[in-house]
Structure formats: C-alpha cells, structure tokens
C-alpha cells in the first residue's frame, strides 16, 4: 500500500499538469478531497520546503484547470 501511495504523490507533485490530472482523475471522491486538503495545507502551513510548496501550487493550478475544463463540458 505504501508503494501505491508513493506513486500517487509522485504523480500529484510531479509538476507535470497532464500527469497530475491523469492521476487525480483515477482517485475516488474521498481520496480527491484528501489530496486537495493536503495540497492546500502544503501551501498555507509553515514547515514545508520551498520545492514542496512549488509542487503543491503547480498541482493545484493543474487541478483548477481540470475543474474549469470539466465545468465547460456540462
């Protein structure tokens, strides 16, 4: 299980928008919520390294783009 979680976070924090969106879209709704909450903590709470904050910001931007694209299809 820990290897699977490591793969998920490697993708989410990869700074590669297509890879981020692809992995996120494979997650169930509860896991997506957890990922979003964690990414938001990474950019707002102290104690994260700059590289981690940048990766979280990139992921959130990619997922926001994903959300805008999904809303446009409705």
Percent of the chain with pLDDT over 70: 91
Continuous H helices in the chain: 2-12, 17-26, 29-44, 50-72
- pTM for this predicted structure: 0.86
CA distances from 62 to 3, 18, 67 (A): 24, 8, 9
Extract the tokens encoding 64: 């926001």
Interval 10-57: pLDDT, tens: 999 999 999 999 999 999 999 999 999 999 999 999 999 999 999 999
CA distances from 16 to 1, 5, 9, 10, 65 (A): 24, 18, 12, 10, 13
């Amino acid at each position: 299980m820990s290897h699977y979680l490591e793969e998920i976070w490697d993708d989410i924090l990869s700074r590669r928008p297509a890879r981020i969106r692809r992995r996120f879209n494979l997650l169930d709704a509860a896991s997506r919520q957890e990922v979003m909450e964690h990414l938001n903590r990474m950019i707002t709470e102290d104690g994260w390294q700059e590289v981690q904050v940048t990766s979280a910001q990139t992921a959130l931007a990619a997922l926001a783009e994903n959300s805008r694209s999904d809303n446009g299809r409705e």
